[in-house]
Amino acid sequence: MAYIHGFSEEEQNRLLSQNEVLAPYIYRNLDFSSFTHIVEIGCGVGAQMITLLNSCPGLSITGIEQSPKQAHRARIHLSHFPGFQNRYDILEDDAKRIHPKFSQPVDAAFMVWVLEHVPQPELLLMNTRTWLPAGKPLWITEVFHPSFRIWPESPAILALLAGYPGLSGFPGRRSGNWHSSGQSA
Ligand SMILES: C[S@@+](CC[C@H](N)C(=O)[O-])C[C@H]1O[C@@H](n2cnc3c(N)ncnc32)[C@H](O)[C@@H]1O
Protein backbone atom coordinates (compact mmCIF):
# COMPACT_ATOMS: atom_id res chain seq x y z
CA MET A 1 0.00 0.00 0.00
CA ALA A 2 1.49 3.35 -1.08
CA TYR A 3 1.62 6.17 1.46
CA ILE A 4 -1.67 7.90 0.74
CA HIS A 5 -0.50 11.49 1.22
CA GLY A 6 2.54 11.22 -1.05
CA PHE A 7 5.80 13.11 -0.65
CA SER A 8 5.31 16.36 -2.55
CA GLU A 9 6.69 19.57 -1.09
CA GLU A 10 3.13 20.79 -0.55
CA GLU A 11 2.29 17.69 1.45
CA GLN A 12 5.49 17.98 3.47
CA ASN A 13 4.59 21.59 4.27
CA ARG A 14 1.15 20.40 5.33
CA LEU A 15 2.70 18.08 7.91
CA LEU A 16 4.61 21.01 9.39
CA SER A 17 1.59 23.35 9.42
CA GLN A 18 -0.68 20.64 10.77
CA ASN A 19 1.53 20.16 13.76
CA GLU A 20 1.63 23.86 14.54
CA VAL A 21 -2.15 23.65 14.96
CA LEU A 22 -2.43 20.26 16.68
CA ALA A 23 0.68 20.10 18.91
CA PRO A 24 -1.09 21.68 21.90
CA TYR A 25 -3.61 18.82 21.81
CA ILE A 26 -1.02 16.07 21.29
CA TYR A 27 1.15 17.27 24.16
CA ARG A 28 -1.62 18.33 26.52
CA ASN A 29 -1.20 15.07 28.47
CA LEU A 30 2.20 14.02 27.19
CA ASP A 31 5.27 15.43 28.90
CA PHE A 32 8.75 14.32 27.76
CA SER A 33 10.60 17.06 29.66
CA SER A 34 12.07 14.63 32.23
CA PHE A 35 13.34 12.22 29.53
CA THR A 36 16.79 12.41 27.95
CA HIS A 37 16.41 10.28 24.80
CA ILE A 38 13.30 9.16 22.97
CA VAL A 39 12.69 7.50 19.60
CA GLU A 40 10.07 8.81 17.18
CA ILE A 41 8.81 6.12 14.81
CA GLY A 42 7.68 7.50 11.43
CA CYS A 43 9.07 10.96 12.08
CA GLY A 44 8.12 12.26 8.62
CA VAL A 45 9.65 15.67 7.94
CA GLY A 46 10.44 16.29 11.61
CA ALA A 47 7.36 18.22 12.70
CA GLN A 48 7.14 16.52 16.12
CA MET A 49 10.92 16.63 16.56
CA ILE A 50 10.97 20.42 16.16
CA THR A 51 8.18 20.84 18.69
CA LEU A 52 9.83 18.57 21.27
CA LEU A 53 13.41 19.77 20.81
CA ASN A 54 12.06 23.26 21.39
CA SER A 55 9.91 22.50 24.42
CA CYS A 56 12.25 19.99 26.14
CA PRO A 57 15.78 21.45 26.23
CA GLY A 58 17.33 18.32 27.81
CA LEU A 59 15.88 15.94 25.25
CA SER A 60 17.53 14.10 22.34
CA ILE A 61 15.43 12.38 19.67
CA THR A 62 16.18 9.61 17.22
CA GLY A 63 13.70 9.54 14.35
CA ILE A 64 12.97 6.45 12.27
CA GLU A 65 11.57 7.17 8.82
CA GLN A 66 11.25 4.77 5.91
CA SER A 67 10.90 7.38 3.16
CA PRO A 68 14.23 8.88 2.00
CA LYS A 69 12.33 11.95 0.74
CA GLN A 70 10.78 12.62 4.15
CA ALA A 71 14.05 11.97 5.97
CA HIS A 72 15.88 14.34 3.60
CA ARG A 73 13.34 17.12 4.16
CA ALA A 74 13.48 16.52 7.92
CA ARG A 75 17.27 16.95 7.92
CA ILE A 76 17.00 20.16 5.89
CA HIS A 77 14.30 21.54 8.15
CA LEU A 78 16.10 20.64 11.36
CA SER A 79 19.32 22.21 10.06
CA HIS A 80 17.55 25.58 10.19
CA PHE A 81 17.68 25.33 13.98
CA PRO A 82 21.40 25.44 14.89
CA GLY A 83 20.54 25.14 18.59
CA PHE A 84 19.25 21.61 17.98
CA GLN A 85 22.54 20.37 16.54
CA ASN A 86 23.75 17.09 18.13
CA ARG A 87 20.36 16.51 19.74
CA TYR A 88 18.80 14.51 16.94
CA ASP A 89 19.47 11.71 14.51
CA ILE A 90 17.34 10.23 11.74
CA LEU A 91 17.53 6.57 10.75
CA GLU A 92 16.17 5.74 7.30
CA ASP A 93 14.51 2.36 7.64
CA ASP A 94 11.25 0.46 7.92
CA ALA A 95 10.11 0.45 11.54
CA LYS A 96 8.59 -3.00 11.00
CA ARG A 97 12.03 -4.52 10.64
CA ILE A 98 14.68 -2.15 11.99
CA HIS A 99 16.92 -3.36 14.83
CA PRO A 100 18.51 -0.08 15.82
CA LYS A 101 21.59 0.32 17.99
CA PHE A 102 21.41 3.55 19.96
CA SER A 103 24.37 5.45 21.35
CA GLN A 104 22.38 6.40 24.46
CA PRO A 105 19.70 4.63 26.52
CA VAL A 106 16.13 4.91 25.27
CA ASP A 107 13.61 6.35 27.76
CA ALA A 108 10.53 6.01 25.56
CA ALA A 109 9.29 5.62 22.01
CA PHE A 110 6.39 7.40 20.40
CA MET A 111 4.61 7.78 17.11
CA VAL A 112 2.11 10.24 15.78
CA TRP A 113 -0.24 9.46 12.89
CA VAL A 114 1.80 6.51 11.64
CA LEU A 115 -0.08 3.28 12.32
CA GLU A 116 -2.94 4.28 10.02
CA HIS A 117 -0.42 4.11 7.16
CA VAL A 118 1.00 0.70 8.01
CA PRO A 119 -0.73 -2.27 6.33
CA GLN A 120 0.11 -4.58 9.24
CA PRO A 121 0.47 -2.28 12.26
CA GLU A 122 0.87 -5.24 14.60
CA LEU A 123 4.18 -6.08 12.90
CA LEU A 124 5.50 -2.63 13.63
CA LEU A 125 4.38 -2.87 17.25
CA MET A 126 5.91 -6.33 17.68
CA ASN A 127 9.21 -5.19 16.19
CA THR A 128 9.27 -2.14 18.47
CA ARG A 129 9.07 -4.51 21.43
CA THR A 130 12.32 -6.16 20.32
CA TRP A 131 14.38 -2.99 20.88
CA LEU A 132 12.38 -0.85 23.32
CA PRO A 133 13.78 -1.66 26.78
CA ALA A 134 11.39 -3.48 29.09
CA GLY A 135 9.31 -1.12 31.18
CA LYS A 136 9.83 1.87 28.88
CA PRO A 137 6.64 3.41 27.48
CA LEU A 138 5.46 3.54 23.89
CA TRP A 139 3.13 6.49 23.27
CA ILE A 140 0.84 6.34 20.25
CA THR A 141 -1.27 9.19 18.92
CA GLU A 142 -3.54 8.05 16.13
CA VAL A 143 -6.39 9.45 14.09
CA PHE A 144 -9.88 8.44 15.07
CA HIS A 145 -11.92 9.14 11.94
CA PRO A 146 -15.29 8.14 13.41
CA SER A 147 -14.97 11.04 15.85
CA PHE A 148 -14.94 13.56 12.99
CA ARG A 149 -18.07 15.71 12.97
CA ILE A 150 -19.04 18.82 11.07
CA TRP A 151 -22.13 20.91 11.60
CA PRO A 152 -24.25 21.68 9.69
CA GLU A 153 -23.81 18.30 8.02
CA SER A 154 -22.54 18.34 4.47
CA PRO A 155 -23.72 15.49 2.20
CA ALA A 156 -20.63 16.00 0.03
CA ILE A 157 -18.22 15.58 2.96
CA LEU A 158 -20.17 12.61 4.35
CA ALA A 159 -19.96 10.95 0.92
CA LEU A 160 -16.24 11.68 0.78
CA LEU A 161 -15.69 10.13 4.21
CA ALA A 162 -17.78 7.09 3.30
CA GLY A 163 -15.51 6.43 0.36
CA TYR A 164 -12.27 7.25 2.15
CA PRO A 165 -10.09 4.12 2.15
CA GLY A 166 -8.34 5.14 5.36
CA LEU A 167 -11.60 4.85 7.26
CA SER A 168 -11.88 1.11 6.81
CA GLY A 169 -8.13 0.91 7.44
CA PHE A 170 -8.32 2.57 10.86
CA PRO A 171 -5.89 0.43 12.88
CA GLY A 172 -8.06 0.47 16.00
CA ARG A 173 -10.78 -1.25 14.01
CA ARG A 174 -8.47 -3.78 12.45
CA SER A 175 -6.64 -4.67 15.63
CA GLY A 176 -9.83 -4.77 17.62
CA ASN A 177 -8.22 -5.48 20.95
CA TRP A 178 -6.61 -2.25 21.99
CA HIS A 179 -7.95 1.16 22.83
CA SER A 180 -7.36 4.48 21.15
CA SER A 181 -6.87 7.71 23.04
CA GLY A 182 -9.38 9.17 20.60
CA GLN A 183 -7.07 11.80 19.15
CA SER A 184 -8.49 13.23 15.98
CA ALA A 185 -6.40 14.85 13.23
C1 LIG B 1 1.29 11.13 8.38
S2 LIG B 1 3.05 11.07 8.42
C3 LIG B 1 3.34 11.66 10.09
C4 LIG B 1 4.73 12.13 10.27
C5 LIG B 1 5.07 12.66 11.67
N6 LIG B 1 4.87 11.64 12.67
C7 LIG B 1 4.24 13.87 12.01
O8 LIG B 1 3.55 13.86 13.02
O9 LIG B 1 4.30 14.85 11.25
C10 LIG B 1 3.43 9.32 8.55
C11 LIG B 1 4.90 9.01 8.29
O12 LIG B 1 5.14 7.65 8.67
C13 LIG B 1 6.07 7.11 7.77
N14 LIG B 1 5.97 5.65 7.83
C15 LIG B 1 4.93 4.87 7.43
N16 LIG B 1 5.20 3.57 7.62
C17 LIG B 1 6.45 3.52 8.15
C18 LIG B 1 7.30 2.45 8.54
N19 LIG B 1 6.91 1.17 8.42
N20 LIG B 1 8.52 2.74 9.03
C21 LIG B 1 8.93 4.04 9.13
N22 LIG B 1 8.18 5.09 8.77
C23 LIG B 1 6.95 4.83 8.28
C24 LIG B 1 5.66 7.72 6.42
O25 LIG B 1 6.70 7.64 5.46
C26 LIG B 1 5.32 9.14 6.84
O27 LIG B 1 6.43 9.99 6.74
| CB of 50 closer than 6 angstroms to any ligand 1 atom | no
Burial of 42 (0-12, 13-18, 19+ CB in 10 A): buried
Nearest-angstrom CA–CA distance, 6 and 9 = 9
Nearest-angstrom CA–CA distance, 151 and 73 = 36
So what's the pLDDT on residue 180? 41
CA of 158 to the centre of ligand 1 (A): 26
Question: pTM for the full model?
Answer: 0.85
| CB of 115 closer than 6 angstroms to any ligand 1 atom | no
Please identify, in words, the CATH class of the domain defined by 9-142: alpha beta
Neighbours of 140 (CB within 10 A): 21
> Which residues in the chain land under pLDDT 50?
168-185
Domain locations in the chain as residue ranges:
9-142
So what's the pLDDT on residue 171? 44
So what's the pLDDT on residue 165? 60
Residue 55 in contact with residue 83, Cβ under 8 Å? no
So what's the pLDDT on residue 7? 87
So what's the pLDDT on residue 128? 98
CA of 42 to the centre of ligand 1 (A): 3
Residue 64 in contact with residue 43, Cβ under 8 Å? yes
At 69-117, the pLDDT tens digits run 999 999 999 999 999 999 999 999 999 999 999 999 999 999 999 998 9
Residue 87 in contact with residue 60, Cβ under 8 Å? yes
E strand or H helix at 53, and its extent? helix 47-55
CA of 122 to the centre of ligand 1 (A): 15
| CB of 141 closer than 6 angstroms to any ligand 1 atom | no
So what's the pLDDT on residue 76? 96
